[in-house]
Amino acid sequence: MEKHHKFSIWYVIMAIWGILLIHNLMISAFAIETIPYSRFLRLVQEQRITEVSITENQIQGRMVPEGGVDGRSVPFRTVRVDPEISKLLDEHDVTFKGEIESTWLRDILSWVLPVALFVGIWLYMIKRIQGQQQGFMTLGKNKAKIYVEDEVGVTFEDAAGVDEAKQELVEVIDFLKKPERFTSIGGKMPRGILLVGPPGTGKTLLAKAVAGESGVPFFSMSGSEFVEMFVGMGAARVRDLFNQAKQKAPCIIFIDELDALGKARGFGGMGGHDEREQTLNQLLVEMDGFDAQVGVILMAATNRPEILDPALMRPGRFDRQVLVDRPDKNGREAILKVHLKNVHLDDDIDVEKVAAMTPGMVGADLANLVNEAALLAVRRDRRKVRMEDFEEAVERVVAGLEKKNRLINPEEKKIVAYHEVGHALVAMALPGTDPVQKITIIPRGIAALGYTMQVPTEDRFLMRKTELLNKIATLLGGRAAEAIVFDDISTGAHNDLSKATDIARSMVTQYGMSEAIGQVYHAADQRSQFLYPGMERHGEYSQGTAELIDQEVREIINRQYEVARDILQARRELLERSTQRLLEQETIAGEELKAIAEEIRRNR
């Protein structure tokens, strides 16, 4: 077989150096004769030197050779020697000569360094040009990160609090490990599995866990990485991704943030020529074309399934949707135990209590909570994390950073104290409300001048009408306390009014809890918030119905405000004493508030 030798520029450089070296040696060897200095002195005495050129270390000139005729002379050179030494040596018949220090290495380096610098710059420029050409030629290649079994490093043990989702995905693992169990009876694995859920619930972690459990290659790519500024590049990347996956089958393709690629087509007036829509069309074609029995499983994750194109959701494509919802109390407890494995904990840590303090938090929130607690322990020069660190971390995450250095004048501080105690007393008086754990008038976050912390005793998935009304009354308790005590109101209730109005409007438009409106759903389509400007869809009801909705919302707010006022007026003594205690201590616990109420009741 013929061998092909790779050409190298260094061959040319070495050849040039050799030629230059030989040239210098030939010139020095044949052009000028080098003679000893003693001979030079004798030639001078014999008058055979015709001319000389004297430098500091060398003498060059012309001499008449032995037997020379017709005045012919030849060039010579010799090393200059100190005349006194030469005279002494000549008197004793010593043959002496001078030698020129060898400078061949210096001469070569004087050639090598400039040439090497020039060649280096030239090679660097060639490499840059080739890299740009290669980058342009690989625009159609996919940018997926390929993880083999050893690189995934994630199993179902790392994904806690999502037991139902893991059960759905166990079938995928069984199919990748033993596909004959399904194919032997004619069964087919779903071609696409869509993980749906709020941000931070662990959708990407679950996909990696499936790959880690099954031990197959894992192709990971974001939906936004498909679309480029060049037309057709996204579709080319989709084709290349599926081609590579088929070569490495069985494997898993995971597309994160699918909504960046699979948004419903036809919005914005761009037609079918939009680059994103071409990429989506190619994805639909590839999902129809590959055989499920090959062993390629397509998984994707999104937190906005309502905006995905219906063609993606039909059976035969993403025909199985797995909900990765917010964890319940038991799920949060399991997630906390996973994140607490590498944290040094004190003996007073109650994981169940921490889980109860964090309703609505997802896995990412809980991981951040554990990290905040650890940082607080380090800040306080402790080697172990205590329960108080977790309680403070919950408040930091929920309400914001505590700002003890913010200066508030005494009058504003008094208003804030009455406001927060008003929330707490209304919550304590009404059934179905979350227990009050803590009241503080230390500013937190950007605009919170005070904070009333209520911790639910259990997770709730349904709320009755009475509970929603009591929640509105609790939110309005701060405003009612200000009106009772100061006969005036402040701007501190703006966030309370916003939340109360949202609850009341949802009761009227979504939950059918208004007798005047009836059992009718009047909320706007959720998809409308993702449409382009000018294409928004408003609620499909008349102007009269809109006015009636506004009137009902206003009446609900006003009724519950009166409820809050009545409660606080009936407990005016408790309001005053609790507020004075709060102004003195800046923070009081819910149990302390109950103790004050019990003391007042006994004294009566």
Active site residues: 420
- Neighbouring-strand partners of residue 147: 218
Contacts by residues 133-136 (CB-CB < 8 Å, ≥ 24 positions apart): none
SS3 220: strand
Q: Do the annotations mark residue 419 as ligand-binding? A: yes
Q: Are 430 and 473 in contact (CB under 8 A)?
A: yes
**How big, in percent rounded to 5, are the helix, strand and coil portions of the chain?**
55, 10, 35
Q: Is 201 annotated as a binding residue?
A: yes
- Cα gap 545→509, rounded to integer Å: 10
The Cα 258–Cα 262 span in angstroms is 6
Q: Is 204 assigned a ligand-binding role in the annotation? A: yes
Q: How many helices (H) and strands (E) does the chain have?
A: 22, 13
Query: What's the sign of the alpha-carbon dihedral 296, 301, 305, 309?
Result: negative
User: Which residue shows structure tokens 């002379």?
Assistant: 73
Instruction: Establish whether 5 is an annotated binding residue.
Output: no
**203 assigned to a ligand binding site:** yes
Using CB atoms within 10 Å of the CB of residue 443, give its burial: 0 to 12 exposed, 13 to 18 middle, 19+ buried: buried
The string over 387-420, giving b where at least 16 C-beta atoms fall within 10 Å of a residue's C-beta and e elsewhere, is bebbbbbbbbbbbeebeeeeebeeeebbbbbbbb
Report residue 544 as tokens.
Answer: 């009269």
CA distances from 39 to 34, 44, 86, 94 (A): 10, 9, 11, 11
Among left, alpha and beta (phi > 0; psi -120 to 50; other), residue 239 is alpha
Beta bridge partners of 299: 193, 254
Q: Is the peptide bond before 533 cis (omega within 30 degrees of 0)?
A: no
Closest alpha carbon to 467 in 424, 509, 513, 436 = 513
CB–CB of 299/192 below 8 Å?
yes
269 is in an annotated binding site: no
Given the DSSP bridges, would you call strands 58-63 and 49-54 parallel, antiparallel or unpaired? antiparallel
CB 559 within 8 A of CB 574: no
115, containing H or E segment: helix 104-137
Handedness of CA 574, 579, 585, 588 (dihedral sign): positive
Q: What would the DSSP string read from start to end of 288-325?
A: HHS-GGG-EEEEEEES-GGGB-HHHHSTTSS-EEEE--
344 is in an annotated binding site: no
d(CA 398, CA 462): 22
187 is in an annotated binding site: no
The answer to whether 198 is annotated as binding is yes
Cross-strand pairs, 256: 222
Q: Binding site residues, as ranges?
A: 197-204, 419, 423, 496
Annotated binding site for ATP: 197-204
